Every structure is written in C-alpha cells, then in structure tokens.
C-alpha cells in the first residue's frame, strides 16, 4: 500500500471527512482491520483565507509547495490537496515535488463522464466559479459545458462558505438556499451539480437534490485510495 500525503486545514471541517472517507474506503476494499497509510500536513486556514481575499496567490503557492515537500520528505507517495479552491496554485505543487499530484478536477471530470452527463452546474467559492483553473479542465479535457450561478447567487455562496461552513456552522437555512441555487441552474439545463467546495457535501445531502450531485471530497478521496492500492 502506498502512503497518501494530505494537505489539510482548508478547512479542517472537510479535511476530517477526507480522512474518514479514505480509511473507510481502504477498509471496505481490503477488509479486516486495514486502514490507510497517510501523512497529513495541515495549514492555519486564517492565513490562506487572508491571502485569497487579498489576491496573493504567490504566497499561497509557496505555502502549498512547502507543505508538499514536507509530505514527500515524510514518505508520502502522492500529494492530495484537500480543497477545491487552492488547486488554483496546482503548478506550485507539481513543480516542488517528484511524487504525483492527484488533481481534484481531473477526478471530478472522470466521475461526471462515467455518469454520461454533458452539462453540469458548478457551486463553490467565487474564486472557483469565476476563475478558469477549474472550468477550463472540465471543458477542454472532458468536453463538459459548465454552468455557474449568477453574480448575486455567487455572493450568497461565498458568504455561506466563508462565514458559516469553514467555521463549522451548517444550518437548514443555508442548505435550502444552496438547493434553490441548484434548482435555478437545473432550469438552465444542468444535468448534475458539482459541489466544488469540500464543505458543501456536508451541508447538502445528495438525496435532497433532484439531479445528481458530485461530492468532490469523496471523489478525490476515492482517487487517492485507488492510487494507493494500485
């Protein structure tokens, strides 16, 4: 079994879900008392959040490169970045280490293709929805059409994510608001919805949405386990 290297803390609310998913998947696959071999390097999210809002992505990239090197030195066989938004600085990670970097968008694109969908909604932070680091991969490499919420709904999602979810606050009001946003995108032709913030699947149960949802944290965790056991 290979060792999974995790960069966590963005936020730790979803990082703990990664750890749970990965170990449950390994036990399901191997049985008995098996669990995953893993190494975790976790950030202080306040710093990452501050740099994100000031647009200082170079500092975030340097931080992610440093954490990736730590994982490699600790014996990790791969790097898994436990967040969607910070994949914006993926190049800083791939340039810093010699071990593979498992990209969350590639894993998500493969999962959508397996469902045979062509047009999907993307929910996440404004950085994820507005910048092209996420949508470009899905469009260019997987031939998908990506729908994003209108500006007002983007602001609503941004507020829910940064002022509630990353602080461990998950309310029924926030859930219903997100489900309404997904319904609007369905009316525009979305066949499925990418929960492109790793805290969103904690808030939005798949069974309460009437189109398929893609839990990016779980999809990413499965990719890591498949690689670890390959």
Q: Which residues are catalytic?
A: 83, 197
* Tokens standing for residue 34: 């098996």
Compute the residue count for the chain: 230
DSSP string, the chain: -PPEEEEE-TTHHHHHHHHHHHHHHHHHHH-TT----EEEEE--HHHHHHHHHHT-HHHHHHHHHHHHHHHHHTT-SEEEE--SGGGGGHHHHHTT-SS-B--HHHHHHHHHHHHT--EEEEES-HHHHHSHHHHHHHHHHH--EEE---HHHHHHHHHHHHHTGGGT---HHHHHHHHHHHHHHHHTT-SEEEE-STTHHHHS-GGGSSS-EEEHHHHHHHHHHHHHH-
């Amino acid at each position: 079994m290979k060792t999974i290297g995790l960069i966590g803390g963005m936020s730790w609310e979803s990082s703990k879900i990664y750890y749970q998913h990965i170990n449950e998947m390994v036990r399901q696959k191997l049985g008995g008392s098996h669990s995953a071999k893993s190494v975790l390097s976790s950030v202080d999210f306040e710093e990452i959040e501050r740099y994100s809002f000031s647009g200082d992505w170079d500092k975030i990239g340097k931080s992610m490169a440093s954490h990736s090197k730590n994982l490699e030195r600790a014996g990790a066989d791969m790097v898994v970045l436990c967040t969607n938004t910070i994949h914006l600085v993926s190049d800083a990670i791939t340039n810093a280490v010699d071990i593979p970097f498992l990209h969350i968008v590639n894993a998500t694109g493969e999962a959508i293709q397996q469902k045979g969908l062509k047009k999907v909604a993307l929910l996440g932070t404004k950085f994820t929805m507005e910048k092209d680091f996420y949508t470009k991969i899905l469009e260019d490499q997987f031939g998908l059409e990506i729908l994003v919420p209108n500006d007002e709904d983007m602001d609503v999602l941004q507020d829910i994510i940064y002022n509630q979810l990353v602080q461990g606050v998950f309310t029924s009001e926030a859930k219903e608001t997100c489900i309404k946003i997904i319904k609007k995108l369905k009316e525009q032709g979305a066949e499925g919805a990418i929960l492109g913030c790793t805290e969103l699947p904690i808030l939005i149960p798949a069974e309460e949405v009437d189109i398929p949802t893609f839990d990016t944290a779980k999809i990413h965790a499965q990719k890591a386990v498949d690689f670890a056991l390959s």
